[in-house]
Structure 1
Amino acid sequence: MNSRTAPETSARAPSARRTWTAPVVVNLVLGIVAVIPVWALVLFAVNYPLAGLGITHREPTENDGMLPWLLVLVPMWAAFLGLWIPVNLAMRRKRDALKRRYWTVSSLLVLLPTVALMFFIENK
């Protein structure tokens, strides 16, 4: 094949691995930050809505009601999402990734440290 018929490979075109490296690292770091909000949300869900449906049992010492939980959870999640959403919007624009794939992968990567920690604690 001569140079006219050979497929052109641009030195500027990033590989798929290189395109996803920064979003993966950033979302894993944000996932470490998200361990506390996710943990608090799980504790809230276990003690209130899931216990109300009869799926779980309430913690016997949890008698403060829902207001303290909401006063903690709402600002905590607002701060985390206020950081996570703009960072990922900027990363997605730079990467030209598909919307659904990017947000699905980002969401799963943020949850990965919490899931890994829960698995590690359970199997210790």
Structure 2
Amino acid sequence: MADFEGDLRVPEAPGVVRPRPWALPVVVNLVMGVVVVIPVWSLVLFAVSYRFAALGVTSGSPTENDGMLPWAIVLVLLWTAFLAMWIPANLLSRRRVGASRARYWACATLLVLVPTTVLTCGIAVR
């Protein structure tokens, strides 16, 4: 019994292909990357319309008279909804990988930005 106490894993059958431990986090973050396109583009639009216009880098919309409050409400709701999905999904899939926290979250952040970058570059090239 002493040999069995620490190892409760079932031995694998020969020829069985196990999925890679990083497969689930990669898929989860790429799918979430498609979802984050809307919050990222809304944030960029807000920055161009208000923050950069206040600095004189861009010109604001001449018909804009609502102020920043509606934008702030929409951005907070979008980012809250996205983060409420992204963080728990990554906490669940991080357990399978066994990587350090810093490495996992850095990879997850970069992976979630891939679809936004691809779509932005694709639109810019057109």
TM-score, length basis structure 2:
0.78
Q: Alignment partner for residue 95 of structure 1, among 86, 94, 97?
A: 97
Query: Which residue, out of 6, 22, 29, partners 2:31?
Result: 29
Q: Is the 8 A contact 2:21 2:96 kept in 1?
A: no
- Sequence identity percentage: 57
Other-structure match for 2:45? 43
Residue 7 of structure 1 corresponds to none
Q: Distance in 2 between matches of 1:96 and 1:87?
A: 15
The number of residues matched between the two structures is 111
> Which residue does the alignment assign to 1:80?
82
Amino acid at match of 2:117: V
Mark the runs of 5 or more structure 2 residues left unpaired by the alignment. 1-10, 14-18
Please say if residues 94 and 104 of structure 2, whose CA atoms lie closer than 8 Å, have aligned partners that are also in contact. yes
Report if the CA contact (8 A) 2:49-2:61 is conserved. Answer: yes
How far does residue 65 in structure 1 lie from its aligned partner after superposition?
Answer: 1.2
CA distance in 1, matches of 2:63, 2:122: 26
Instruction: Please state how far the C-alpha of 1:70 moved relative to its aligned partner.
Output: 1.0
Distance across 2 between alignment mates of 1:55 and 1:94: 46
Is 2:123 aligned against 1:116?
no
Structure 2 CA distance for aligned equivalents of residues 75 and 19 of structure 1: 33
**Residues 123 and 62 of structure 1, relative CA distance in 2, 3 Å threshold:** farther
TM-score (normalised: structure 1): 0.79
* AA partner of residue 34 (structure 1): V
Give 1:66 deviation, angstroms.
0.4
Cα 1:60/1:105, change in 2 over 3 Å = farther
Tell me how large the CA RMSD over aligned residues is: 2.0
